[in-house]
Amino acid sequence: NAGVMQNPRHLVRRRGQEARLRCSPMKGHSHVYWYRQLPEEGLKFMVYLQKENIIDESGMPKERFSAEFPKEGPSILRIQQVVRGDSAAYFCASSPKGGSGNTIYFGEGSWLTVV
């Protein structure tokens, strides 16, 4: 896990507010992945990004969720108008390059609670 930095670690939002989760990949990594983990469930793929490009967003909900990985700065997962069902742990992971077989390393996660 060392090297993939996520913040905030814990975030509380009221229904209808926006949540922004940030992820800085490991040094030298240009590929970022976001996963969501609901209580006592597995890791669900959300989106895969490379610098300035979304490679695969097949796991992203159609509405309210967006992700970016700008040329400079961290990757951002944005959830608009949060609802209680968005409460989960959101994990970011990174790899040095894309493609099958490249090891990905996870951060410690951001726990979102919607009240």
Q: Taking the complex as a whole, how short is the minimal distance between the CB of residue 81 and other proteins, in angstroms?
A: 26
Site for other proteins in 55-114 (CB under 8 A): 55-56, 58-59, 91, 98-109
- How many whole angstroms separate alpha carbon 22 and alpha carbon 68? 10
Q: How far is CA 55 from CA 10, 31, 39, 73, in A?
A: 27, 9, 27, 18
Nearest to 92 by CA among 43, 28, 42: 43
The correct pick among 7, 20, 30, 45 for binding other proteins (CB under 8 A) is 45
Q: Taking the complex as a whole, how short is the minimal distance between the CB of residue 20 and other proteins, in angstroms?
A: 19
Interacting residues with other proteins (CB under 8 A)? 1, 4, 33, 35, 41-45, 48, 55-56, 58-59, 91, 98-109
